[in-house]
Amino acid sequence: MEKLKKRWGLTSNFQVLLIIIVFSINGSFAAWVAKPVTEIVGISEENPWIFWPIRILLIFIIYQITLPLVGFCFGQFKFFWNFFTKKILLRIGLKKLFKEV
Protein backbone atom coordinates (compact mmCIF):
# COMPACT_ATOMS: atom_id res chain seq x y z
CA MET A 1 0.00 0.00 0.00
CA GLU A 2 2.81 2.40 0.79
CA LYS A 3 4.27 2.02 -2.72
CA LEU A 4 0.91 2.86 -4.29
CA LYS A 5 0.39 5.81 -1.99
CA LYS A 6 3.82 7.20 -2.84
CA ARG A 7 3.55 6.53 -6.58
CA TRP A 8 0.06 8.02 -6.90
CA GLY A 9 0.60 10.84 -4.38
CA LEU A 10 -2.12 9.67 -2.03
CA THR A 11 -2.46 10.34 1.66
CA SER A 12 -4.37 7.36 3.07
CA ASN A 13 -4.94 3.66 2.64
CA PHE A 14 -8.65 4.37 2.32
CA GLN A 15 -7.98 6.54 -0.73
CA VAL A 16 -5.99 3.69 -2.33
CA LEU A 17 -8.89 1.33 -1.62
CA LEU A 18 -11.39 3.72 -3.21
CA ILE A 19 -9.24 4.05 -6.33
CA ILE A 20 -8.91 0.28 -6.70
CA ILE A 21 -12.68 -0.06 -6.30
CA VAL A 22 -13.23 2.60 -8.99
CA PHE A 23 -10.93 0.74 -11.40
CA SER A 24 -12.80 -2.53 -10.88
CA ILE A 25 -16.30 -1.06 -11.10
CA ASN A 26 -15.44 0.99 -14.17
CA GLY A 27 -13.91 -1.97 -16.01
CA SER A 28 -17.00 -4.07 -15.43
CA PHE A 29 -19.24 -1.17 -16.37
CA ALA A 30 -17.39 -0.53 -19.65
CA ALA A 31 -17.67 -4.19 -20.67
CA TRP A 32 -21.35 -4.24 -19.69
CA VAL A 33 -22.13 -1.12 -21.77
CA ALA A 34 -20.15 -2.31 -24.81
CA LYS A 35 -22.37 -5.35 -25.31
CA PRO A 36 -25.62 -3.52 -26.10
CA VAL A 37 -23.72 -0.95 -28.16
CA THR A 38 -22.40 -3.68 -30.46
CA GLU A 39 -25.94 -5.09 -30.71
CA ILE A 40 -27.38 -1.67 -31.58
CA VAL A 41 -24.75 -1.18 -34.27
CA GLY A 42 -25.63 -4.61 -35.61
CA ILE A 43 -22.34 -6.39 -35.03
CA SER A 44 -22.73 -9.97 -33.84
CA GLU A 45 -20.40 -12.69 -32.68
CA GLU A 46 -21.00 -14.58 -35.91
CA ASN A 47 -17.93 -12.89 -37.34
CA PRO A 48 -15.39 -12.84 -34.48
CA TRP A 49 -12.72 -11.12 -36.63
CA ILE A 50 -14.89 -7.99 -36.72
CA PHE A 51 -16.83 -8.35 -33.46
CA TRP A 52 -13.95 -8.66 -30.97
CA PRO A 53 -11.69 -5.84 -32.23
CA ILE A 54 -14.66 -3.48 -32.32
CA ARG A 55 -15.88 -4.60 -28.91
CA ILE A 56 -12.41 -4.16 -27.37
CA LEU A 57 -12.13 -0.71 -28.93
CA LEU A 58 -15.55 0.20 -27.56
CA ILE A 59 -14.61 -1.02 -24.09
CA PHE A 60 -11.43 1.09 -24.20
CA ILE A 61 -13.30 4.23 -25.27
CA ILE A 62 -16.15 3.74 -22.79
CA TYR A 63 -13.63 3.02 -20.02
CA GLN A 64 -11.75 6.27 -20.64
CA ILE A 65 -14.92 8.35 -20.79
CA THR A 66 -16.53 6.87 -17.69
CA LEU A 67 -13.42 6.61 -15.50
CA PRO A 68 -13.59 10.19 -14.19
CA LEU A 69 -17.37 9.90 -13.80
CA VAL A 70 -17.15 6.77 -11.66
CA GLY A 71 -14.21 8.36 -9.82
CA PHE A 72 -16.43 11.38 -9.11
CA CYS A 73 -19.05 9.11 -7.52
CA PHE A 74 -16.37 7.88 -5.10
CA GLY A 75 -14.89 11.33 -4.44
CA GLN A 76 -11.75 10.65 -6.50
CA PHE A 77 -12.41 12.74 -9.64
CA LYS A 78 -9.26 14.83 -9.27
CA PHE A 79 -7.05 11.74 -9.12
CA PHE A 80 -8.54 10.15 -12.22
CA TRP A 81 -8.62 13.40 -14.17
CA ASN A 82 -5.01 14.30 -13.44
CA PHE A 83 -3.34 10.91 -13.65
CA PHE A 84 -5.25 9.07 -16.37
CA THR A 85 -7.76 10.89 -18.53
CA LYS A 86 -5.70 14.06 -18.82
CA LYS A 87 -2.64 12.10 -19.96
CA ILE A 88 -4.63 10.18 -22.56
CA LEU A 89 -6.24 13.33 -23.92
CA LEU A 90 -2.82 14.94 -24.20
CA ARG A 91 -1.48 11.90 -26.06
CA ILE A 92 -4.22 12.07 -28.67
CA GLY A 93 -3.51 15.74 -29.30
CA LEU A 94 -6.13 17.62 -27.30
CA LYS A 95 -3.62 19.97 -25.65
CA LYS A 96 -5.95 22.94 -26.16
CA LEU A 97 -8.18 21.68 -23.35
CA PHE A 98 -5.43 22.30 -20.80
CA LYS A 99 -3.67 25.52 -19.90
CA GLU A 100 -0.87 23.69 -18.08
CA VAL A 101 1.10 21.67 -20.61
pLDDT per residue as tens digits for the range 44-75: 888 889 999 999 999 999 998 899 899 999 99
HSE, CB side, 13 Å, CA atoms: give it for residue 72. 7
CA-to-CA separations, 32 to 35, 51, 89, in angstroms, rounded: 6, 15, 24
Task: Give the model's pLDDT for residue 95.
Answer: 62
Number of helical (H) and strand (E) elements in the chain, helices listed first = 5, 0
Residue 88 has pLDDT above 90, yes or no: no
pTM of the model: 0.76
List the domain range (segments joined by +) for residue 46: 2-97
Task: Give the chain's domain count.
Answer: 1
Tell me, rounded to whole angstroms, the distance of Cα 21 from its chain centroid. 12
Q: Is 46 helix (H, G, I), strand (E, B) or coil?
A: coil
